[in-house]
Each structure stands twice: as C-alpha cells, then as structure tokens.
A and B are shown apart, each in its own frame.
Chain A
Amino acid sequence: MESQPAKHAQRTASSTPAQWLEGIRRLADQLPSGARLMEVCGTHTMAIARHGLHSLLPPKIRLISGPGCPVCVTPTSYINAAIELARRPDTVIATFGDMIKVPGSESSLEQEKARGARIAVVYSPYDAINLATANPGSQVVFLAVGFETTTPATALAAIRARSEGLKNFFLLTAHKLIPPALRILLSDAETRVDGFLLPGHVSVIIGARAYRFVADEFRRPCVVAGFEPLDILHAIAMLLTQMTQAQADVQIEYRACVSEQGNLAAQRRIAEAFQPCDTEWRGLGMLPASGLTLKPEWAALDAEKRFGLRVTPAADNPHCACGNVLRGKVTPPDCRLFAKACTPTYPIGPCMVSSEGTCAAYFKYRRQ
C-alpha cells in the first residue's frame, strides 16, 4: 500500500460542524470578493445538496458544480452508438445502471429494452465478463464509461478477456480524464473558479500530484476532499485558508484513502490497455487528450471497430442548459426546462438523469 504521509486529519474528534462553520465565516470575512469553489465529483454534489451545505455557508462562499458526473458528460453520440448496438441481433449490452435512462437522439437504452433489446445492468465489469462466458452465442458489449476511479476495473476486464481468450466480449469506450477537463475550465475566461474541491475516489487512483498544474500554472488552491459533510466543510476551510494567504497548493483532506502518487498498480493497468485520445464531453465539446481508448494491440476488444460503428456528432435539445450547468456558468433553475419539461421521471438532459447530476440534486433538495 502507498505511504500515507499523515494520519486522517484531526477533525471528527476535536471539532463540531458549528466550529467549522464559524471558522469558515471568519475566513470569508477576510475575502472581500468572496469565493467561488467548484466541486468536480457527483458524489460531492449530492452530499452538499443532501446536507444543505449551501444554506449553511456565508452567502459570499458559492459552491458550484463542475463536470464531475460521468453519465452527465457522456455525449448523445455515444448513447446513439450504444442504442445502435443494442438493436443488433445476438447482442447484449452490459452497463452500469445509471446509463439506461439517458436519452439519445430518439430513444434510450431503457426504451430499447422495453422493445426487446437485451440490456443487462451490471455492478462490475467482471459481471459483464461472466455474462460473455455464460452466453457464448451472444456478443456482449460493456459500456465502458467513467472517470479514473472506474477505468482500472475496465482495464482489468480487458486484460482478463484477452487472457481467457474470450471472443464475444467488447468495450464501447468513453472513459474520461479529470485533469484535462480542469485545464479547459481554467482556460475559459467565462468560468470564474477560485478553488477546487477535488474528487476523493478519482484521486485514490491518480494521486494528488495529478493536479499540480492547477496550483502551479493557474494559481488556484486545490483540496482533495472526502465525502462526509464534515470532510467537505473541512476542505472548504482549507481552500479558504489558502486563499486568505494568497497561496495555491494541492492539499489532501481525504488522507485515509488518498496519497500523493495514487494507486500505482491501478495506473499500470490503465496504461497497459489504454492510451489517451481526444473525446467529446457533453457541454464542453471535443477536448484534446481528455479520454482513454484501447491501444491498437487491443483492437479485437473494441466494439466500434468490431461492429463498424461510427460515433457521429449529434445535436442536443437546444433548450437544455446541461452544457452550461457542467461548466458552472448557470444553475439548473436558470434552465427553462428545469422542473417543467425536464424532471427525474422524464429527464431531457443527462444532469437530470443521473442521480448524481446537478439538476437532479437541485430538483430533489433545492427546489424553492
């Protein structure tokens, strides 16, 4: 196991939420123009909304949500490709559950399933491997989405499929990388972010060092945060402390799980099967070297190549504001569809589909 430089911060035993909030208020008083802090993790988005942290913070401290939900940033074109595969005979789509309601251009995987397509919800990529082993007459395509937390699992599934000589297991890849997305957000003059609450479990894999450039090149404070409300308050206090001292550093609040260098074994697995590629993010567009695709020597597992798919750009609903929500430019209530045409039962945009999406969080916890 990687070294853990310091013990879990002394927060739970010694400080109450009220004390942390008081500390945050004092720090906020020292920042005349306040602070806009972005979280880049759907689990943080939900924790912040569920515990009502927005309403506890001084109004000068704004928490905004970035592109931290893999389902939300998966483009319509990918869903269309998955649907095209689902309509093929003898094909089984294996997917994490939150993908099945995401609308494509004219249908969703859920609707395809109702029409008879074989769509299996799996918990683990290894479940998809088992499905392929148990159904040799079917082609099993695993929808390989997710950030760095999930990619090692897909990489190991690819490695296992190859070592077992499975001929009916494929990946439709849309894995995304968090650091390049942060770079794009920081390069966009319209997105004002003063500091980042960085994702805990992505960072278990890639380590805090992966964000060094945010502090060094862009001079923004960063804190890798855990998921309990006190973790988040603690991380906010750490960010504000850096701001009041005009510092920009990458700190780890989630010491129990996150190290400077990350999980090296997982990083090696990723590098074995995948290489960086340009990829489309919903709302952010085509971003250079921001995704992972199978290396050429793994092409036999690539569903796009095997089935001659062409993932072509697709238009989103012109009224859907998910793109700007994901950039932190608008909040869900600014969207004309929010809570009217677009609800968790009949979602139009992916930020409402995923239970971790910003729109879903607003709908559930923050509707006025």
Chain B
Amino acid sequence: MCLAVPAKILKISGPLADVEIAGNRRQASIELIEDAAVGDYVLLHAGFAITKLTPEDAAETFALLREAEDRIGAEPKYGIPASQTRSADR
C-alpha cells in the first residue's frame, strides 16, 4: 500500500502540479515538497509527491521499469532515454 512511483513535474498551479507518469498525465499535490519546480522528478504516493528524486535516481527507476516491461513483453511506456532525463535542470 505504500507503493510510490517516480513522476516528472510538467506544470505547477499553486499546490497542485500536472505530472507525467509513464506517459500519462495526471494531477498531483506538491504541498509536501519544498521548492518544487517544473522539470523536477518526485516520488508519488496516493496523488501526493512525498520527496524529490535526482534525475539519476529517476532514470535508474525508469530503467528498471523498462527492464520489467521487456521481460513481460509489454509495450514500452517508460522508454524515456537516460540522456533526456539527465538534461532536466536542478
């Protein structure tokens, strides 16, 4: 139940942000994060960002998820190239 997934902040509107999770866009609260900025990666639990991630950490998780997709032959959703995730400014 304490599952959390990495997401990228696309747009900030007050306490809420549009985030991208595996190619899907949804709203999430960023009230628990200090200094959240567009381009940041966060760990999302129950619609709330609970901590920031470095782009490298997020890339590592995405790589693991991508590996899992390969294993089960799923259509890639986590296919974000590591170079792109690293380019996000911090």
The residues of A with any CB-CB pair to B shorter than 8 Å are 1-2, 8, 12, 41-43, 69-71, 96, 98, 123-127, 146-147, 149-150, 152-153, 156, 199-202, 204-205, 228, 256-257, 263, 265-266, 269, 354, 356
Shortest CB-to-CB span from A111 to chain B, Å, is: 22
- The CA-CA distance from A69 to B64 in the complex, in Å, is 24
Asked if B48 and A201 make an inter-chain contact with CB atoms under 8 angstroms apart, the answer reads no
Choose among A42, A125, A156, A204 the residue that contacts B1 (Cβ–Cβ < 8 A): A42
Asked if A266 and B32 make an inter-chain contact with CB atoms under 8 angstroms apart, the answer reads yes
In B8-58, the 8 Å CB interface with A consists of 29, 31-35, 43, 45-48, 50-54, 56-57
Asked if B47 and A205 make an inter-chain contact with CB atoms under 8 angstroms apart, the answer reads no
Q: Is B3 interfacial (CB 8 A cutoff)?
A: yes
- The CA-CA distance from A265 to B35 in the complex, in Å, is 12
Asked if B1 and A356 make an inter-chain contact with CB atoms under 8 angstroms apart, the answer reads yes
Given A41-B2, A69-B1: A201 and B32 interface contact (C-beta under 8 Å): no
Which chain A residues lie closer than 8 Å to B2 at the CB level? 41-43, 70, 146-147, 149-150, 199-202
Which chain A residues lie closer than 8 Å to B34 at the CB level? 1, 265
Asked if A201 and B45 make an inter-chain contact with CB atoms under 8 angstroms apart, the answer reads yes
Which chain A residues lie closer than 8 Å to B50 at the CB level? 149, 152, 201, 204-205, 263, 266
The residues of B with any CB-CB pair to A shorter than 8 Å are 1-4, 29, 31-35, 43, 45-48, 50-54, 56-57, 60, 64
* Closest residue of B by beta carbon distance from A97: B1
Which chain A residues lie closer than 8 Å to B57 at the CB level? 8, 256-257
Asked if A150 and B46 make an inter-chain contact with CB atoms under 8 angstroms apart, the answer reads yes
Which chain A residues lie closer than 8 Å to B45 at the CB level? 149-150, 153, 201
Shortest CB-to-CB span from B24 to chain A, Å, is: 12
Ordered by A's residue number, 6 sampled pairs between the chains whose C-beta atoms are within 8 Å are A1-B34, A126-B47, A153-B48, A156-B31, A263-B32, A265-B31
- The CA-CA distance from A69 to B1 in the complex, in Å, is 7
Shortest CB-to-CB span from A151 to chain B, Å, is: 10
Known contacts A152-B32, A201-B43, A256-B54, then 19 further A-B pairs from the complex at CB < 8 Å, ordered by chain A residue = A1-B35, A1-B52, A8-B56, A8-B60, A70-B2, A96-B1, A96-B46, A123-B47, A146-B46, A149-B50, A150-B1, A150-B46, A153-B29, A156-B48, A199-B2, A204-B50, A256-B57, A256-B60, A356-B1
Asked if A149 and B4 make an inter-chain contact with CB atoms under 8 angstroms apart, the answer reads yes
- The CA-CA distance from A41 to B4 in the complex, in Å, is 13
Shortest CB-to-CB span from A178 to chain B, Å, is: 10
Which chain B residues lie closer than 8 Å to A43 at the CB level? 2-3
Shortest CB-to-CB span from A203 to chain B, Å, is: 10
Which chain B residues lie closer than 8 Å to A256 at the CB level? 53-54, 57, 60
- The CA-CA distance from A125 to B31 in the complex, in Å, is 14
Which chain B residues lie closer than 8 Å to A156 at the CB level? 29, 31-32, 48
Asked if A153 and B46 make an inter-chain contact with CB atoms under 8 angstroms apart, the answer reads yes
Which chain B residues lie closer than 8 Å to A265 at the CB level? 31-34
Shortest CB-to-CB span from A318 to chain B, Å, is: 27
Shortest CB-to-CB span from A267 to chain B, Å, is: 10
Asked if B48 and A228 make an inter-chain contact with CB atoms under 8 angstroms apart, the answer reads no
Which chain A residues lie closer than 8 Å to B51 at the CB level? 1-2, 204, 257, 263
B2, B45, B50, B56: most-surrounded residue (chain A CB, <10 A)? B2
Shortest CB-to-CB span from B85 to chain A, Å, is: 14
Shortest CB-to-CB span from A77 to chain B, Å, is: 20
- The CA-CA distance from A125 to B46 in the complex, in Å, is 7
- The CA-CA distance from A10 to B52 in the complex, in Å, is 20
Which chain B residues lie closer than 8 Å to A8 at the CB level? 56-57, 60
Which chain A residues lie closer than 8 Å to B46 at the CB level? 96, 123-125, 146, 150, 153
* Closest residue of A by beta carbon distance from B43: A257
- The CA-CA distance from A347 to B50 in the complex, in Å, is 32
- The CA-CA distance from A31 to B56 in the complex, in Å, is 37
Shortest CB-to-CB span from A208 to chain B, Å, is: 13
Shortest CB-to-CB span from A342 to chain B, Å, is: 20
Q: Which 9 A-B pairs have the closest CB atoms?
A: A124-B47, A256-B57, A149-B2, A201-B2, A153-B48, A266-B32, A153-B46, A1-B52, A124-B46
